[in-house]
């Protein structure tokens, strides 16, 4: 079967192939990506071929200048994550037939990551974030003697199996909308690993970890876009682990941060009026006595006014709000 592949080429020397098609710069928020050019290849492969088969065939038989990173070809090593038709996937797990749209498949390095060449991106941002969460056990004392195991209940380890499945491919970070606009965000993979260790009953530093993960760039900077859940090839579902970390951090007393204040303001408003008071949400999230922070939000407020999006000045409760309050009472927790 014949497949057409459009490959995003980037060459730091600027020496693009003669028949390359000029590409277009990416719109924000993907504006960190260098301008690339798209080059079209045609390959003959069996129906069941994957994107990586096509790239290897191109590199081996048509264009040895094409740079592509891969190793296992079995969705294990995580090295072939790249953008296929605008989202991060493992090239060795993506069937060409399923990805062919309008007669072609577009393949390129993820624009949120620095490009080294063609389809090979620099994974330094990924590994820096990974290391920043201290992804290793800081074991509780006393340690068992060397000839004995550190025994924990099976159930508590089953809770962590999902995160252990991570193959560090970076697909979740490549598509993370928060990372695309904020390079300091720890990102989905690092935070999923953070939960793996913070949630381990053998770890002695859970409280300190939760304090660190609650700082700017941590768990509260996730915007719930779900890209990491959708794109992860191993079912790690990083967003779910981030939500667990948030609950753990609040339970551990880390509530003096914009994220917790935002969640509190949201829940309090819905409990008392049945709907969100958008007028007070931003000031309460920033902190009512945080004058510098409040001043920083002024440009956004002015932009909203200019766009005619100012919420109503008088916030009215919906009819039957008592039923909403009853739900809060029944669910319990901090907003009972």
Name the residues that contact ligand FES, by CB under 6 A.
70-73, 75-80, 90, 92
| Assigned token pair, 18 | 């003669």
Q: State which of residues 58, 210, 222, 250 lies at the interface with ligand SF4 (CB under 6 A).
A: 222
153/163 Cα distance (integer angstroms): 18
List the single partner that 77 binds among ligand FES, ligand SF4, none, CB under 5 to 8 Å by kind.
ligand FES
205/84 Cα distance (integer angstroms): 39
166 forms part of the interface with ligand SF4 (CB under 6 A): yes
Q: Which is nearer to ligand FES, 75 or 267 (CB)?
A: 75
Residue for token pair 């993820």 = 110
231/151 Cα distance (integer angstroms): 34
136 forms part of the interface with ligand SF4 (CB under 6 A): no
Closest CA to 90 of 75, 100, 105: 75
Q: State which of residues 234, 244, 261, 284 lies at the interface with ligand SF4 (CB under 6 A).
A: 234
Residue for token pair 């819905």 = 270
Q: Which stretch binds ligand SF4 (CB under 6 A): 12-20, 57-65, 145-153, 164-172?
A: 164-172
Closest CA to 16 of 63, 59, 82: 63
List the end-to-end C-alpha distance of the chain, in Å, as a whole number.
Answer: 62
Per-residue x/- track, 168-187, ligand SF4 (CB under 6 A): xxxxx---xxx---------
78/102 Cα distance (integer angstroms): 28
List the single partner that 76 binds among ligand FES, ligand SF4, none, CB under 5 to 8 Å by kind.
ligand FES
Q: Which is nearer to ligand FES, 170 or 199 (CB)?
A: 170
Contact set with ligand SF4 (CB under 6 A): 166-172, 176-178, 188-189, 192, 222-228, 232, 234, 236, 238-239, 242
């Amino acid at each position: 079967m014949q497949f057409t592949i459009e490959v995003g080429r980037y060459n730091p020397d600027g020496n693009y192939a003669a028949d390359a098609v000029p590409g277009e710069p990416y719109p924000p928020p993907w504006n960190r990506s260098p301008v690339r050019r798209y080059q079209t290849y045609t390959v003959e492969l069996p129906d069941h071929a994957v994107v990586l088969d096509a790239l290897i065939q191109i590199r081996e038989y048509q264009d040895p200048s094409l740079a592509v990173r891969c190793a296992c070809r079995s969705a294990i090593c995580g090295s072939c994550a790249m953008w296929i038709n605008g989202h991060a996937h493992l090239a060795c797990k993506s069937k060409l037939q399923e990805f062919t749209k309008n007669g072609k498949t577009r393949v390129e390095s993820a624009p949120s990551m620095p490009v080294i060449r063609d389809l090979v991106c620099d994974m330094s941002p990924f590994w820096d974030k990974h290391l920043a969460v201290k992804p290793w056990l800081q074991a509780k004392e006393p340690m068992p003697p060397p000839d004995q195991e550190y025994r924990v209940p099976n159930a508590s380890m089953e809770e962590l199996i999902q995160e252990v499945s991570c193959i560090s491919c970076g697909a979740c970070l490549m598509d993370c909308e928060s990372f695309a606009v904020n390079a300091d965000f720890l990102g989905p993979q690092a935070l999923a690993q953070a939960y793996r260790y913070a949630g381990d009953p053998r770890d002695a530093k859970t409280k300190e970890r939760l304090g660190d993960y609650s700082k700017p760039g941590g768990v509260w900077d996730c915007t719930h876009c779900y890209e990491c859940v959708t794109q992860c090839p191993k079912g790690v579902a990083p967003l779910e682990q981030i939500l667990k970390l948030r609950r753990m951090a609040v339970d551990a007393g880390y509530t003096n941060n914009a994220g917790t204040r935002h969640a509190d303001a949201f829940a309090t408003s819905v409990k008392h009026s049945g709907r969100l008071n958008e007028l007070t949400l931003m000031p309460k999230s920033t902190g009512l006595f945080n004058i510098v922070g409040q001043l920083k939000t002024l440009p956004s407020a002015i932009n909203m006014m200019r766009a005619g999006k100012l919420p109503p000045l008088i916030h009215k409760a919906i009819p039957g709000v008592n039923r909403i309050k009853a739900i809060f009472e029944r669910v319990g927790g901090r907003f009972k």
